[in-house]
Each structure stands twice: as C-alpha cells, then as structure tokens.
Chain A
Amino acid sequence: MNPLLKCLPIAALLTSLLPAASAQPAKITLEALNPMGVIEPPPTLGLSPRLADLAGKRIALMHNNKPGASNLLDALQQLLKNKYPGASFSRGYQTNPVQPPKDPDMYKKAAAESDVFIFAMGD
C-alpha cells in the first residue's frame, strides 16, 4: 500500500479537528489606568455688565503685540469713531505674546481709565 494512502485516515482526522484549532481566541479584557491629569477648575466667574451704548464711552484698544493686531485696531478705531464721534480711545496697553505685562498694574490702570475694552490677540 502506498505509504501516502496509509496516512489518509490520520489526515482526515486532523482536518476534522481544524475548526476547533482555529476557533476564535478567548476574549481578553484590558483595564488601563487613566493617563490624564486631574484638573482643579478655578471658581467660575461671570462677565461684567454690558453697556447700553458706546456713545461717549472710553474704549481701551489692547493687543498682545503680535504683528497685525495693531493694524486691526487702527482700522476698528476709525470705524468706531465714525459711529460714535464722542467716544475716546486709549492705545497704551499692550502685553507680550509670551510673557505677562512688564507693568504688573497694567490691567488695573487700563480698567480705571476705560469703560470697555477690545483685545485683539493677533492670532
């Protein structure tokens, strides 16, 4: 008898077992710890009351010294001046895009001298 034929029953047996051998692997559940940092949110603050109108108001035009922000404020100042001829504008309050203002009291001074502010980020 051909030796190959002798093997046939064995091959048939193995074939019959194949579905069991290739069955889906057991399900695995992984539990991973969360890598995000816990944040302690600061107490949330509300906005300051809005003005009824900008007529005659002191408007602070502020920016962070990024190129273009000053140009945008120049154009806005002209447009606002046309709409509100009695409004006044202050332009002396600029921050640095990287660091806090050099004058730690800048915002206090700006707040004391303004009724409203427009801050252009330059980005």
Chain B
Amino acid sequence: MEKLGVPGVLLVSSQFTADAKSAAADWAMPGIRIVTIPSDKWYRFRGTVEEVRPLAEAAVDPIIKALTIPLTPQDEKPPQQPIVKLPPIKVTGAGYADAVEKLNDLFLKNHMGDGLPLVPPTREAVEAMLKGTTRSRDEVIGKVPMKFGIATVEKIAINSVMAGAKPEYFPVILTAMEAFCAGEFWHMMGSSGSFTLIIMVNGPIAKEIDMNAGIGFLGDCWRANNTIGRSVRLATRNIGHTWPAENDMALVGRPSSHTFFIFAENEEMSPWEPYHVSMGFKKEDSTVTVTKVGSYFGASGQIVGGGAVATWTAQSILDGMARLATFKGSGYYTWFHPEAAQALVDAGFTGRSKIQEWFSGKTGVAAKDVSVAVTGGVPGYSMIWAYELDTHVTKKIHGAALTKAGR
C-alpha cells in the first residue's frame, strides 16, 4: 500500500516489533511506521471487542500521529542499505582448546550457530568439505529466508563443517538446501507456530554413507543422519540470518531443533518401489525430499499404530490416519512401518497409489497431496504428518565426488 502511494501504519504486539522492523527492511521499506500493542495484554484481551477496547484506546492517538505527522527527510529518502561484508573471523587463544572455545563464544554472540559446540570452519576444513562435490564453490543454490541470504556451495560447506559433517555427506546436504530453496519455506523459518523440517533420503547413497533407516530412524547416534540434519539447520539459520525472538518467532523452538527430522526411507524392507521411483526418478538415482510440517498440533508426527505393545491391523492404521486428516488444504505425509506396509500389500494395497486413492476417497485430500513412505524397523510405528502444499519438494543428488551414488 505504501509502495502504491497510500500512507499507512502497522500495528504489531511489542514482542514482534523487532520482527516487524526486520521484515520491513527485507521488503525495502525500513522506515515504515509501527504502533505497538503491549504483548502481555494483547494475547489475553484480543478475544472480544469489549476486552480489546482499552488497548485500542491507548493506540488510537499514536496511530493518528503515525498517519499525520509529516515525513522527515529520512522518511522520504532513506539511505540505501549496504551490502554487509562478511570477512573471515580470527580468534587467538592460549592453545587450541582455548581458541576453539573463544571462537564458539564469538560465533554465538554474533548470532551464528545453534547453541551446541561448533567445529571451527577453517579454510582447510572447508576445502576438505568441498572435495565432496564436483560442483563449483561459487554456484548459487538459492536464497534462504528470512533475509534471503545467498546460499552458495561454499557457504553451505562452511556450515557443514561447523555441523561436523563428513565430505561424503556434502552432496546430500547441498541437495537438501536446493530443495529447501525451491519450495515455499519462508513461513517455516519465522512463524510462531514452530514448524519444522523433515528430510528424507532415498536411493543408494543412503546406504553408502551409512544412514539409519531402521529402529531409531529419527534419533541420535548416527553421524550421517545427525550431521546432515544439523548442516541443513545451521545453513538455513546462518545463511538466512534468522535468530530466535528476533525474526524467528517459533514460540517453543522446533521439534528436533538442532537437526530437524532426518532419515532414509527403509527401501530394503519396503514391499513397494522406493519413494523416489514413485516420483519418476530411476532406482539408481539418489534423492532428497524436504517437507515443512507442523510441530505439536493435530496430525503432526502422530503415531497411529504399530509398536510392541498394542495390537493393530492395516485397516486400523489407515482409519487412524484418515481421522487425523482434519486440516483442509494440507497435504499428508503417511509413514508406514515395514510390517504395516506388508500388511497393506496383503490387504490389496499393492502400490503407493492404492493408499493415495483410499486416503483421498476417505478424506477428500487430492491423491497427489498424499505422500507415502516406509520408515523404521521391526517392530515400528506408523505415523502421519500434515504439510503445507508447495512445501514438499524432491530433488535428485548430483555432483558427488566421494561416493559411487549421486554422481
């Protein structure tokens, strides 16, 4: 509206003032006039017009002033925002351990990192990481929200070193970032809803770099899973310039905050063709699929059957998933543990498309918006996640230099 010549004012709660100013700068208008409503009262008293009236009474004069006080020269012609230089960072310590500690402190103080100790991204370490790919260090993979920092291969390599990844994992990390930049993930990076990311790896590279696809598939103790996930988490945070309570307003953080959720599909135990093959890729291809999912609400990571205690049937699992699919306009990521997948085949669901059709008929969700994966070991759990459309993206890995797959 301001760009169209209409003067205006933005009303935000006080806790979101920094976020609003940051977004205004990102969208070319850092001087936009903002009136704040106290957060400690806003969320309590916004439920009815009567309750919120005192807040409106306190805001009305500042609103009128924002709309009528003449512009300053700076309001009329604000200075161009500079391109911030990002030189290497030097620290000196009394020995290696002290230098590493100082570097970690400095990084965190400058909003780079994730709160866990970081491996120093020295020039030598980054060069070693870059040996994992044949792609040029200067290739632009995409722009990362919230501030749309440019994700080059080298920038992603720096973050991958910090995360403790091995060079042979690097093509998987690059492809996850490529998929992330291709989709609509900006909302996930800043929303108060605490959304998170799921990363699924398919194809022969998963086994070659020793990714967990079985029991504990979302858990710790697997270097490939954990450091690939952490690399993507750090790259999105650092390259996109986000920070909690500033422009990342995820109120409870995120589930699996440091590594997102990451696993390999259990292709060996799946009775169906691998997920990526169902998406049109070749079996010998390796792919990464990234998906934005909700955090602790509704059909977000809900277990709907399986395990080692309660009994279950293929039909009870399907029915449970359909019951949870209540968000209209969402896609659904359905994960079947290997035994459930086999039971579904026995019940006539001979391919993923049969599951998609059944689910669509039961819930009204378009079949193309139902994704089916086989996850975990034996015993295992079946789960369902709601995802926003345009945030479920699969990309093929290429340019791998240290593995047979993904070249």
Which of these, A37, A79, A110, contacts B151 with CB under 8 Å?
A: A37
Q: Whole-angstrom distance between the alpha carbons of A71 and B59 in the complex? A: 14
Question: If A35-B159, A121-B10 touch, does A47 touch B84 (CB 8 Å cutoff)?
Answer: no
Decide: A37 near B239, CB < 8 A? Known: A42-B27, A80-B60: yes
Binds A, one of B119-127, B206-214, B311-319, B348-356: B119-127
B90 x A29 contact (CB < 8 A): yes
Q: A47-B32, A117-B8 are in contact. Are A30 and B103 (CB under 8 A)?
A: yes
When C-beta atoms are compared, the residue in chain B nearest to A52 turns out to be B68
Partner of A68 from B52, B75, B126, B162 at Cβ < 8 Å: B52
Is B155 touching A35 in the complex (CB atoms < 8 A)?
Answer: yes
Across the two chains, which residue of chain A brings its CB closest to B149?
A: A37
Neighbouring B residues of A116 by C-beta, 8 Å: 6-8, 67
| Known contacts A42-B27, A43-B28, A32 near B122 by CB under 8 Å | yes
The answer to whether A35 and B7 touch (CB under 8 A), given A29-B91, A68-B47, is no
Out of B9, B46, B100, B143, which one reaches A71, CB within 8 Å? B46
Query: Is the pair A74, B49 in contact by a Cβ cutoff of 8 Å?
Result: yes
Interface assignment of A36: CB less than 8 Å from any CB of chain B: yes
User: A26 near B: Cβ within 8 Å?
Assistant: yes
User: Residue of B at shortest CB range from A26?
Assistant: B95
Contacts of A52 in B (CB 8 A): 68
Is B86's CB under 8 angstroms from A44's CB? no
Chain A positions within 8 Å of B78 at CB level? 44-46
Quick check: is B280 within 8 A (CB to CB) of the other chain?
no
Q: What are the residues of chain B within 8 A of A83 when measuring CB–CB? A: 60, 64
Which size class do B's interface residues fall under?
A: 35 or more
Residues of B within 8 A of A12 (CB): none
- Asked if A50 is an interface residue, CB under 8 A from chain B, the answer is yes
Q: In the complex, which residues 7-46 of chain A have their Cβ closer than 8 Å to any Cβ of chain B?
A: 24-46
* Docked-complex contact B80 and A41, CB < 8 angstroms: yes
- Asked if A35 contacts B121 (CB within 8 A), the reply is yes
A41 to B90, CA, bound (A): 26
Report the bound CA distance from A38 to B6 in whole Å. Answer: 32
0/1 string, B72-88, CB within 8 A of A gives 1: 00011111111110111
What 0/1 pattern do residues 75 to 113 of A give for CB contact below 8 A with B?
A: 110011001000000000000001000000001101100
A90 to chain B, nearest CB (A): 12
A53 to chain B, nearest CB (A): 7
Q: How far is it, in angstroms, between the C-alpha of A25 and the C-alpha of B84 when the chains are bound?
A: 36
Q: How many of chain A's residues have a CB under 8 angstroms from any CB in B?
A: 59
**A53 to B70 CA separation, bound complex (whole angstroms):** 11
Which residues in B have their C-beta under 8 angstroms from that of A28? 92-96, 98-99
Answer whether residue B401 sits at the interface, using C-beta atoms and an 8 A cutoff. Answer: no
A110 CA to B2 CA, complexed, in Å? 11
How far is the CB of A61 from the nearest CB of chain B, in Å?
A: 10
Residue from B51, B59, B191 having most chain A Cβ neighbours under 10 A: B59
The smallest beta-carbon distance between B104 and chain A, in angstroms, is 10
Determine if B46 and A68 form an interchain contact, defined as CB atoms under 8 angstroms apart: yes
Chain B residues, CB < 8 A from A111: 1, 4-6
Is there contact, CB below 8 Å, between A38 and B149? yes
Asked if residues A34 and B71 are in contact (CB atoms below 8 Å), the reply is no
Q: Judging by beta carbons under 8 Å apart, are A47 and B33 in contact?
A: yes
Q: What CA separation (Å) do A92 and B58 show in the bound complex?
A: 25
User: Which residues of chain A (46-72) have a CB below 8 Å from chain B?
Assistant: 46-54, 60, 62, 67-69, 71-72
Docked-complex contact B238 and A36, CB < 8 angstroms: yes
Residues of B within 8 A of A118 (CB): 8-9, 11, 63, 67
**Shortest CB distance B3–A (Å):** 6
Could you say which of B12-20, B282-290, B299-307, B375-383 contacts chain A? Answer: B12-20
A48 to B84, CA, bound (A): 27
| Minimum C-beta distance from B190 to chain A (A) | 11
Q: Are A39 and B148 within 8 A (Cβ)? A: yes
The answer on a CB contact under 8 Å between A37 and B11 is no
Q: Is the CB of B95 within 8 A of A44?
A: no
A76 touches B28 (CB 8 A): no
Given known contacts A34-B89, A45-B29, is B52 in contact with A40 (CB within 8 Å)?
no
Closest 8 CB pairs of A and B: A37-B149, A68-B46, A37-B239, A75-B56, A41-B81, A25-B95, A111-B4, A117-B8
